[in-house]
Homo-oligomer: A and B are copies of this chain.
């Protein structure tokens, strides 16, 4: 079976799920914590080397304050859970903005090893594509040199993007690392995560042919 080296997860649908479940919208995010841990454990069993979570974006911060607080808190909680899982963690996002939670600053400079695991985990926090591309100085068409100019340069090319919540769009996720990614969208909301959904995505990826645009 052809396993993607690097999988990105867009955990969408928390607010819609909360609405449908009789909760307030902002209450949906905390129900996305366990799915995140489950996805990581599954990724390890498949031998996936790198996993990126789309935490929250600069765009998301335009939402009502009660929601912003809820998803920022959920990201901090998620990262605390992930730290128990034998990973090499990197948090990537705009740390210069007041929206960036100071609790997460220690994981933004370089990858931090927890336990003995080798799985790389990237967690995007206060990420924006315009922040990512905002300090580029290139005069080359060399792909590696271009990728080295990104603020997200420590995140590698993505093979498979799995999005929950039914929308077939990137919503600004790592535009350069995503250029050749296969994109799998699930109709289920992120808090409805099940192992079977993740496996469906991996099995679907196995049937795609990888051409890198060639």
Residues of A within 8 A of B (CB): 57, 59-60, 62-63, 94, 128-131, 133-143, 146, 149, 167-172, 175-176, 178-185, 208, 211-214
Q: 6 closest A-B pairs (Cβ-Cβ)?
A: A59-B213, A136-B136, A175-B175, A134-B141, A168-B183, A130-B141
Q: Please give me the residue from chain B that is nearest to A150 by CB atom.
A: B133
This chain's copy number in the assembly: 2
Q: Which B residues are CB-close (under 8 A) to A213?
A: 57, 59-60, 171-172
Q: Please give me the residue from chain B that is nearest to A59 by CB atom.
A: B213
Give the complex CA separation of A185 and B184 in angstroms: 11
Give the complex CA separation of A129 and B176 in angstroms: 8
* Nearest CB of B to A172, in Å: 5
Q: Which B residues are CB-close (under 8 A) to A182?
A: 167-169
Q: Is the CB of B146 within 8 A of A169?
A: no
Give the complex CA separation of A102 and B135 in angstroms: 34
Q: Please give me the residue from chain B that is nearest to A183 by CB atom.
A: B168
Q: Which B residues are CB-close (under 8 A) to A138?
A: 133-137
Q: Is the CB of B133 within 8 A of A176?
A: yes
For the A-B complex with A133-B133, A134-B139, A168-B182 known, give 11 more contacts whose Cβ atoms are closer than 8 Å.
A59-B213, A60-B213, A130-B142, A130-B143, A134-B146, A136-B136, A136-B137, A167-B182, A168-B184, A170-B180, A170-B181
